[in-house]
């Protein structure tokens, strides 16, 4: 095992600065998957489970969603919530049992609600309730991708080390070009955040500046 005294942020910066690193690239059509931008994870003023990396994250996500809708491309929002018994959290809900624990995000609770700053189109966007880290796990996301004939999955939300990573691995495993706009994902601690951006960039996805995504979208025509 190679050892280093560099921080996770420094290691990520080295990867990002490597122009020879081959990318998967964008394809022909994309789906935007916004993972769990709910109050439990976005309202740092209310909940200690929440996190913020880039203060403009939700602004970027809203603007991406607008462009996707203009192209008539699918926009997906996921959130998590569980029964009072937490039986639907499975083994994932057994490690802790505090008011802040995952399985205690109950239906109709404030923690389960999407952040009020999000501009969700209830008529056009797709909303999935998920129970596990990956947005693909036991949801209809795969079927949606097939129906819309997308070959590229763009991920936003959080956490970088949890649901973003899990969804990126599943996305790649299903044969999709997977894009993670750096400013659009967040985590609780910079160590987890940058370590997983590094791993994603090396193995599973293209981690890019959000402006690169906007630039690519600007070259696309609506069907």
Profile the chain (223 residues) by mean pLDDT over runs of 10 residues.
92 87 94 98 97 98 98 98 96 93 96 98 97 98 98 98 98 98 98 97 96 98 69
Determine phi and psi for 31, rounding to 5 degrees: -115, 140
Q: What pLDDT is attached to residue 56?
A: 98
Q: How far apart are the first and last CA of the chain?
A: 49
Determine phi and psi for 13, rounding to 5 degrees: -60, -35
State yes or no: is 163 an active-site residue.
Answer: yes
Q: What pLDDT is attached to residue 21?
A: 75
Q: What pLDDT is attached to residue 18?
A: 84
Q: How far apart are CA 106 and CA 40, in angstroms?
A: 11
* Active-site pick, 33, 163, 164, 180: 163
pTM for the complete prediction?
0.97
CATH of the domain at 80: 3.40.50.850
- Total domains, the chain: 1
Structural domain span for residue 160: 26-217
**189 contacts: CB under 8 Å, gap ≥ 6:** none
Q: What pLDDT is attached to residue 222?
A: 65
Tell me whether residue 9 is in a domain.
Answer: no
Q: What pLDDT is attached to residue 215?
A: 98
Q: Are 39 and 46 in contact (CB under 8 A)?
A: yes
Tell me whether residue 87 is in a domain.
Answer: yes
Tell me whether residue 222 is in a domain.
Answer: no
**Beta 177-181 vs 185-186: how paired, if at all?**
unpaired
Tell me whether residue 12 is in a domain.
Answer: no
Tell me whether residue 84 is in a domain.
Answer: yes
Q: What pLDDT is attached to residue 223?
A: 59
Tell me whether residue 48 is in a domain.
Answer: yes
Tell me whether residue 8 is in a domain.
Answer: no
Q: What pLDDT is attached to residue 13?
A: 95
Tell me whether residue 109 is in a domain.
Answer: yes
Q: How far apart are CA 5 and CA 196, in angstroms?
A: 17
């Amino acid at each position: 095992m190679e050892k280093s005294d560099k921080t996770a942020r420094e290691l990520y910066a080295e990867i990002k600065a490597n122009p020879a690193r081959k990318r998967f690239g964008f394809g022909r059509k994309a789906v935007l998957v916004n993972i769990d931008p709910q109050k439990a994870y976005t309202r740092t003023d209310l909940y200690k489970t929440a996190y913020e990396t880039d203060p403009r994250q939700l602004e970027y996500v809203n603007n991406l969603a607008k462009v996707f809708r203009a192209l008539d491309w699918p926009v997906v929002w996921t959130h998590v919530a569980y029964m009072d018994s937490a039986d639907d959290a499975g083994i994932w809900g057994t490690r802790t049992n505090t008011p802040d624990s995952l399985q205690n995000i109950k239906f109709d609770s404030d923690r389960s609600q999407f952040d009020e700053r999000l501009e969700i189109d209830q008529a056009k966007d797709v909303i999935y309730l998920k129970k596990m880290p990956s947005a693909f796990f036991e949801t209809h996301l795969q079927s949606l991708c097939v129906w819309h004939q997308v070959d590229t999955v763009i991920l936003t939300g959080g956490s970088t080390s949890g649901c973003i990573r899990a969804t990126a691995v599943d996305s790649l495993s299903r044969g999709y070009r997977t894009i993670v706009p750096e400013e659009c994902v967040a985590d609780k601690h910079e160590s987890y955040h940058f370590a997983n951006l590094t791993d994603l960039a090396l193995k599973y996805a293209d981690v890019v500046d959000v402006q690169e995504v906007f630039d690519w979208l600007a070259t696309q025509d609506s069907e």
